[in-house]
Amino acid sequence: MSAETTRRIEAHLGRRARWRISEIVFWLALLAVIFAFPSRAALINEILVAGLFALSLDLILGLAGIVSLGQAAFLGVGAYAAAILASWDQADPTLGLAAGALAAAVVGFATAPLLLRGADLTRLMVTLGVSLLLGELANRNGWLTGGADGLEFSMGKVLGRFPIGFTGQRNAALYSFAVLFVLFALARRLRQSPFGLALAAIRENRLRAGALGIATSWRIVAIYAVSAAYAGAAGALLAQTTQIVSLDLFDFHRSADVMLMLIIGGAGWLYGGIIGAGVFIVLRDVISAATPEYWEFWIGLLLVVLVMVGRDRLQEYVRRAASRVALRLARDAA
């Protein structure tokens, strides 16, 4: 045993645990954006909520390698749980947030066993099927959900002090920011833990993970429920900050968009969902202002380029181009 080797092993295992400067800068910049663009608070809020939604997908896809085209199911369940609670005059946002996350976690836990068998295609179809099913249930039970009309309700103040919604859009964005940050920090912690390491093992080689004594099925169920809770929290935030819910929350396009966002930002490193949501929503905003009909064309092109060229190579191009520009600037200055 050498002290040097021991130290290196500890450092290696804990290497992602410390917050890096670039991460702190990222979060401060995100917070600064909320204060810098008060007129765009609604758009920023949408990005933050979508970022949380994409983070929920990253927990299963990025960490455990479980694909899903039905993440909207949990977004919808969380949103409706928070909305129904508010329509019963339980308007405290924190309570609604917890209810949304919990309701989605329960549904996630109950449907997770469907994911344990079969390959990726099976999982895509099963998750898609579950989201269709829940959407139809919400449609049929109008007494609870308002059916096709949706629900309108008013929200209380966050922590009893800060009004959110149309009268307090910046507060809404700050509320979403706070929830996103706390849940992100939890996810980051989870990724560092033995549990996170076991998920990586399941993703890399489920056969061997089982041969090391890991109860792989239970771990998959657990992370799927956590992911559902995150999506449910995103749904609750969406309901609370827009003060309306409708059946389109369960729509397929929601599940597809969130997958797009995560692929754009990159799965597995937890920041990908937030960055992808930002790119996706800002692009949609900019392009649809210029050419309202064709914005999906450009998103589609971006997706094809990302997948065909590969994100690593794309990043390498950008890095090389940037260093070339920096070099030229330095030469010009000299």
**CA pair distance 242, 155, nearest whole angstrom:** 10
14 binds another protein (CB under 8 A): yes
213 binds another protein (CB under 8 A): yes
User: Among 21-29, 172-180, 198-206, 312-320, which window interacts with another protein (CB under 8 A)?
Assistant: 198-206
| Amino acid of residue 149 | D
**With respect to another protein, which residue has the nearer C-beta, 188 or 284?**
188
Residue burial 188-201, b: 16+ Cβ < 10 Å; e: rest: bebbbeeebebbbb
Dihedral sign for Cα 243, 261, 225, 98, please: negative
195 binds another protein (CB under 8 A): yes
325 binds another protein (CB under 8 A): no
Q: Which residues pair with 78 in a beta bridge?
A: none
Task: Map residue 71 onto helix, strand or coil.
Answer: coil
10 Å CB burial of residue 34 (0-12, 13-18, 19+) is buried
Q: How far is the CB of 196 from another protein (least distance, A)?
A: 7
Q: What is the dihedral of CA 299, 55, 49, 258, to 10 degrees?
A: 30
Q: Which residues pair with 162 in a beta bridge?
A: 158
196 binds another protein (CB under 8 A): yes
**With respect to another protein, which residue has the nearer C-beta, 15 or 331?**
15
222 binds another protein (CB under 8 A): yes
**With respect to another protein, which residue has the nearer C-beta, 136 or 204?**
204
CB 165 within 8 Å of CB 256? no
What track of x and - describes contact with another protein for positions 16 through 35 (by CB under 8 A)?
-x------------------
Q: How far is the CB of 11 from another protein (least distance, A)?
A: 8
Q: Which residue has the tokens 């559902």?
A: 228
CB 55 within 8 Å of CB 184? yes
Q: How far is the CB of 126 from another protein (least distance, A)?
A: 22
Q: How far is the CB of 142 from another protein (least distance, A)?
A: 39
5 binds another protein (CB under 8 A): yes
**With respect to another protein, which residue has the nearer C-beta, 125 or 197?**
197
241 binds another protein (CB under 8 A): no
201 binds another protein (CB under 8 A): yes
Please tell me the total number of residues recorded for the chain in this structure.
334
* Interface with another protein (CB under 8 A): 1, 5-6, 8-14, 17, 189-190, 192-198, 200-201, 204-205, 207-216, 219, 222
